[in-house]
Amino acid sequence: MKKLLVANRGEIAIRIMRSAREMGIRTVAVYSEADRLSRHVLCADEAYLIGPAASAQSYLNVDKIIEVIKTCGADAVHPGYGFLSENATFARRCKKEGITLVGPSPEAMEVMGSKLAAKEAVKKFNVPLVPGTEGAVSDLNEAKSVAKEIGFPLLIKASAGGGGKGMRIVEKEEELEEMLKLAMSEAKNAFGDSSVFIERYITSPKHIEVQILGDQHGNIVYLFERECSIQRRHQKVIEEAPSMVVNDKLRKEIGECAVMVAKSCGYTNAGTVEFIMDESKNYFFLEMNTRLQVEHPVTEMITGKDLVKEQIKIARGEALSFTQEDLKINGHAIEVRVYAEDPMNNFLPDIGTIEQYIRPDGIGIRVDDGYVQGDSIPIYYDPMISKLIVHAPNRNEAIERMIRAIEEYQIQGVKTTLAFCKMVLDHKVFRNGKFDTHFVKNHFKPEMLQSADSDEMEMAALLAAFMQQNKSTSPQTKGLVASGSNWKKNRLQD
């Protein structure tokens, strides 16, 4: 493999290119008209325009991407996450054209891309499943029968989807008909497939996922678990590894279960097996993501393994160079997703120009980003600005390091989720580990951030007055005024 085309944009494209470059592989970027001046374009050895801003006409345009691969002479393509990363049609097309896909087979994508097919596959390997229907439900009478068997509350879920689309919680029987129709309609509109199924609703769930790697020689390992329960709109915002509620015995058990899921579909390359865990630490298979995850850096930090490099090696046909016994957990890692969103307005995207951008630095801090100062956040794509990752010897130190990093991270011009993430990290429920996927609903109110903003504004005013009073006698204070909350922890002394 001498040349790799990265069929993606932003921070994940840059992250993949860095690992490829370290392996002596030339990289090729593709970009839409909206991304002409994006960092990922400048980071590649070559770059090609593939269409207008809309994803359907650019980053999801299979024909155009295949055309560019042939034009530039790339040996392989890495789809990153999102866009074409779990598209079995694209994977099959690459196979037909003799292009190496850095990812799993189209067959594995198809099985795990359907929640119903995935449940059927893993059931043969005795993987624990949430009680519910084995097939799609479209008839109200059948839904009522299932509801009586498993009880309320229950969850209606789209077979083909994710991200909370086509999902409805039903608290009582009178709501069942309406929620069934709504879920099926949303599933049809979002995924082109109205198939839904029903399962018991776990009221206080934790979202635990396991990273796996499988080569083409039958070797599969698990790289431990990630805790991903802090979410908004069914999408993750903060992830950490390992989970503080998983002990060594449970870690081995759930890890080996994830390996069984991979074996159920003949999986190769990097993948993530997601589980839902109840208050008694019973865990159930949720789904498998047949790609690299947004949160993969926390696994890299605790294992010392570069997952992108491992993906490329597997795609080249190499056997894994390590065994399960070689893998050890080193310290604790936390990732926060920095979105251009307004947490005080239901996390709606806040699009605009980044007027100031200063990244945090220091021991144990990593920033995977795709923007620089002066860039605009386009309206066409996911509004994630960056991923901020920290690593420390233990969880408490990792939390404090992340808070310090958030305080140093200066982004002006658009609203971000940084203040929200800091609030979460400071919350006693997060600190003691007794949180679940309902953290935002149960513990977050927008006024919490208003209070923090007011404190910072008051401190800024006090600081300005202090500086004005002392500027003639204390020249060392010049240039010390900083935005953000770095000053909140320090008492001003005369």
The pLDDT of 1-12, averaged and rounded, is: 98
* DSSP code, position 55: G
- Confidence tier at 290 by pLDDT (50, 70, 90): very high
Q: Are 208 and 283 in contact (CB under 8 A)?
A: yes
Structural domains of the chain ordered from first start: 3-102 (3.40.50.20), 131-200 (3.30.1490.20), 206-447 (3.30.470.20)
Count of alpha carbons within 13 angstroms of residue 60, beta-carbon side: 11
What SS3 class is residue 366? Answer: strand
Please state whether the peptide bond connecting residue 104 to the residue before it is cis, i.e. omega within 30 degrees of 0: no
Q: How far apart are CA 387 and CA 314, in angstroms?
A: 26
Q: How far apart are CA 255 and CA 415, in angstroms?
A: 38
Looking up tokens 């691969």 gives 69
For 115, phi then psi, to 5°, come to -60, -35
Q: Are 206 and 251 in contact (CB under 8 A)?
A: no
- Confidence tier at 456 by pLDDT (50, 70, 90): low
Task: For residue 491, indicate whether it is catalytic.
Answer: no
Q: Is the pLDDT of residue 480 over 70?
A: no
Query: Mind giving me the DSSP string for 436-492?
Result: -TTHHHHH--HHHHHHHHHHHHHHHHHHHHHHHHHTTT-GGGTT---SSSTTTTS--
Phi-psi region of 151 (alpha: psi -120 to 50; beta: other; left: phi over 0): left
Query: Mind giving me the DSSP string for 214-225?
Result: E-TTS-EEEEEE
Q: Is the pLDDT of residue 251 over 80?
A: yes
Retrieve residue 269's tokens: 């390359």
pLDDT tens readout for residues 34-72: 999 999 999 999 999 999 999 999 999 999 999 999 999
What is the β-pairing status of strands 235-241 and 341-342? unpaired
Q: Is the pLDDT of residue 490 over 80?
A: no
Retrieve residue 53's tokens: 């801003």
Q: How far apart are CA 64 and CA 57, in angstroms?
A: 9
Catalytic one of 291, 337, 395, 401:
291
Q: Is the pLDDT of residue 457 over 70?
A: no
For 371, phi then psi, to 5°, come to -130, 160
- Confidence tier at 164 by pLDDT (50, 70, 90): confident
pLDDT for the residue 493: 34
Phi-psi region of 390 (alpha: psi -120 to 50; beta: other; left: phi over 0): beta
Q: Is the pLDDT of residue 196 over 70?
A: yes
What are the residues whose beta carbons fall under 8 Å from the beta carbon of 230, sequence distance 6 or more? Answer: 236, 237, 238, 239, 424, 430, 435, 439, 440
Query: Which amino acid is located at 61 in the chain?
Result: N
Could you tell me which residues are beta bridge partners of residue 221? 213
Q: Are 382 and 233 in contact (CB under 8 A)?
A: no
pLDDT tens readout for residues 89-138: 999 999 999 999 999 999 999 999 998 899 999 999 999 999 888 888 87
pTM for this prediction: 0.87
Q: Are 209 and 224 in contact (CB under 8 A)?
A: no
The pLDDT of 453-481, averaged and rounded, is: 51
Query: Residue 129: which of 260, 304, 272, 266 has the closest Cα?
Result: 260
For 429, phi then psi, to 5°, come to -70, -35
Looking up tokens 């592989």 gives 25
pLDDT for the residue 489: 39
pLDDT for the residue 54: 96
What SS3 class is residue 234? Answer: coil
What are the residues whose beta carbons fall under 8 Å from the beta carbon of 424, sequence distance 6 or more? Answer: 230, 237, 238, 430, 439, 444
25 to 16, 74, 110, 314, 419: CA distances (angstroms): 11, 10, 30, 15, 39
Q: Is 482 exposed, middle or buried (0-12, 13-18, 19+ CB in 10 A)?
A: middle
